[in-house]
Amino acid sequence: MNFKKIFTGPLFWILLAVLILLVAVPALFSSAGAGQRVDTNVGMELIEDGQVTEARIDDGDSRVDLTLAESFELDGTEYEDAVHFHFSQARAETVAESIAAADLDGYTDEPEQSNWLLSMLGFMIPFLIIAAIFIWLILRMSGGGSRVMQFGKSKAKMFDKDMPEVNFQDVAGAEEAVEELHEIKEFLSEPEKFQRLGAKIPKGVLLYGPPGTGKTLLAKAVAGEAGGSFYSISGSDFVEMFVGVGASRVRDLFKQAKENSPAIIFVDEIDAVGRQRGAGVGGGNDEREQTLNQLLVEMDGFDANANIIVIAATNRPDVLDPALLRPGRFDRQIPVEAPDFNGRQQILQVHSKGKPMVPDLDLKQVARKTPGFTGADLANVLNEAALLTARSNADLIDDRAIDEAIDRVMAGPQKRTRLMKHHERRVTAYHEGGHALVAAALNYSAPVTKITILPRGRALGYTMVIPEDDKYSTTRNELLDQIAYAMGGRVAEEIVFRDPSTGAANDIQKATDTARRMVTEYGMSARVGSVKLGSGDSSPFLGREMTTGKDYSEDLAAIVDAEVRSIIDEAHDEAYWALTENRQILDTLAEELLRVETLNAMEVAEIFTGVTKRPVRKVWESSPDRPLVVEGENA
């Protein structure tokens, strides 16, 4: 049993306070120095026998205090020279008459004046103890008793030269961002170099991009390179349950930075406090917006912050307040995107340090297999490969461990204990074979690099289609191929079994989403035209989604639905053609998958030798009234 945890927990102190109330409060109202208690009859006999020299009646407590001439013994008990007894209201008159008849020198029938101080303390002590417990619990929630009255103090961590350093050499795959931040470091270390040309130091730098791309790592590298004061804080650390605490913490943070300038302030996840004003529950008066207002003033108010630069990171630049993004606050907005092929290769080299690998392991091929992976994903791939190697009691990381690690990062761990019936395995084999064969038969699809029917994550199997080079835009023909490839699994089930399964639900969703974007966002429908439909706010937050409505008519919505349906139907027909024309190859592929369960790129390419290609689609016209421009001729 953890006694330390019990004695430091709130329950112990609450029980102790209740015990003090039960013991201390009654003691305040009890009389002190009244002697031993005797029965009423004994007290009356003492008065009548003349053994009492002084008497005092307390009507409020129905008690009589007696001072005796000498001590006495009764029933083996020795009584000193002072005793007291209590009486009932029925005998009050008799007691008073007996005392008056005894003609005692110290007797008085005037009521005793109550002690107002004791009465007030007895009334207030319970409330004081309850208030003390409440304040103590609040202090525990906000950082402990050592932080009394420090709610408004900044929680930023200050990094000094003794902290473990991360420099720009540890950051790979983000050369442009490193170059911009390197200039920020020069602003702080050599300000005269820029001031002599009339250049002003930027007030802020916003790093934005998907999760895992290295925004926080870049900030750590700036901390390691700057050599001066570096304050790090999360956006959520500003906002508390108490009104005004966030604004007070912002003021305290900038005050500390001014005292230790030149300084860099890094705010991670700034969207927690920097969301657009007027869109929250409290309108313009809630705590978060007060904190944002103070941050805006500190960054570019009447009080200029010389030699203080704010670096912020967020995954949601679309929800930030426009006042934060204007020049004079966040002067520079640096995108930190997923790395390209060369960037992935550099990141893999950084994270492979300290990990023993087989000599023929080619990180270049690993980078080629992982398009779209972020730096965090690539670090996770190598870490998973190391864990798998250790689990198999091997000494060196090899290609098999890397491939399994990539699959685990993309689709989750393999479910080895899931036993599938033979018919379900055949359906899965033809389903995945349909995806792969349609991709191979189309003209604008990426090559198939892997097919497996082993359950992994929520999928019963998957087909990996990876482009050979990084792509930054997608043509209409490539999107149509993607939709047809997505429908290939469903079409294969229809052709072979005439009884499709639910396994194509995710494929249908992806195909429908792509087709709808082609119509409503990309302007790839002749009937709808090059018109952007819908608000396009894919990340609404409270206050916006309440007012966002469909900004086009019901008639146009019906046309959009018809166009989406038409694109899906055409993709279905293309997949049907590709599979029926290559039915023998589909059967061969499915049987091979049932035998070995997983096929790599070379094995797939060997099976797909002789695949009949789908004829090239006719050139798409946005409108039949616009003549086509033949390549090489002037428009």
Determine how many CB atoms are found less than 10 A away from the CB of residue 24.
14
> Structure tokens of 194?
């820029």
The tokens 């055409």 sit on which residue? 570
Of 289, 298, 384, 432, which is the active-site residue? 432
The C-alpha angle with vertex 305 and arms to 300 and 309, in degrees rounded to 5, equals 90
pLDDT at 547: 44
Contacts of 534 (CB under 8 A, 6+ apart): 520, 521, 550, 551, 552
HEC states along 209-268? CCCCCCHHHHHHHHHHHHCCEEEEEEHHHCCCCCCCHHHHHHHHHHHHHHHCCCEEEEEE
At residue 105, the pLDDT reads 62
Residues of the chain with pLDDT under 70: 1-35, 60-61, 76, 105-123, 136-164, 227-228, 240-244, 279-286, 301-306, 416-417, 535-550, 626-635
Q: Is 359 annotated as a binding residue?
A: no
Whether 606 is catalytic: no
Q: Note the pLDDT of residue 241.
A: 52
Helix (H, G, I), strand (E, B) or coil at 397: strand
The secondary structure of 439-454 as a DSSP string is: HHHSSSPPPEEEEE-S
- Residue 90 CB neighbour total at 10 angstroms: 7
pLDDT of residue 462: 86
Nearest residue to 178 (alpha-carbon basis) of 218, 210, 217, 228: 218
Using N-to-C axis directions, what is the helix angle for 583-596 and 476-497, rounded to 10°?
Answer: 80
126 is in an annotated binding site: no
Residue that the structure tokens 């083996």 belong to? 76
Tell whether 215 is in a known binding site. yes
Contacts 24+ apart (CB under 8 A), 495-498: 495/576, 495/579, 495/580, 495/583, 496/430, 496/586, 497/427, 497/430
A 10 A CB-CB count for 74 gives: 13
Q: Packing angle between helix 583-596 and helix 422-441, nearest 10 degrees? A: 130
Q: Give the whole-angstrom CA distance, residue 567 versus residue 158.
A: 57
Residue 572 marked ligand-binding: no
Q: For residue 62, is it left (φ>0), alpha (ψ between -120 and 50) or beta? A: left
CA dihedral 266, 268, 274, 279 (to 10 degrees): 180
Q: Which residue type, as a one-letter code, is found at position 247? A: A
Do the annotations mark residue 111 as ligand-binding?
no
Question: Which residues 6+ apart lie within 8 Å of 409 measured at CB?
Answer: 373, 377, 380, 381, 384
Say whether 212 counts as a known binding-site residue.
yes
Say if residue 214 carries a ligand binding annotation.
yes
Consult the annotation and say whether 213 binds a ligand.
yes
**Which of 269, 291, 268, 288 lies closest to 279 in space, CA to CA?**
288
User: Which sign does the torsion angle of CA 617, 619, 622, 623 carry?
Assistant: negative
Beta strands in 572-620 (DSSP E): 598-600
Query: What secondary structure does DSSP assign to 326-353, as a single string?
Result: STTTS-EEEE-----HHHHHHHHHHHTT
pLDDT of residue 25: 55
Q: How many CB atoms lie within 10 A of CB 194?
A: 14
The neighbouring-strand residues paired with 448 are 465
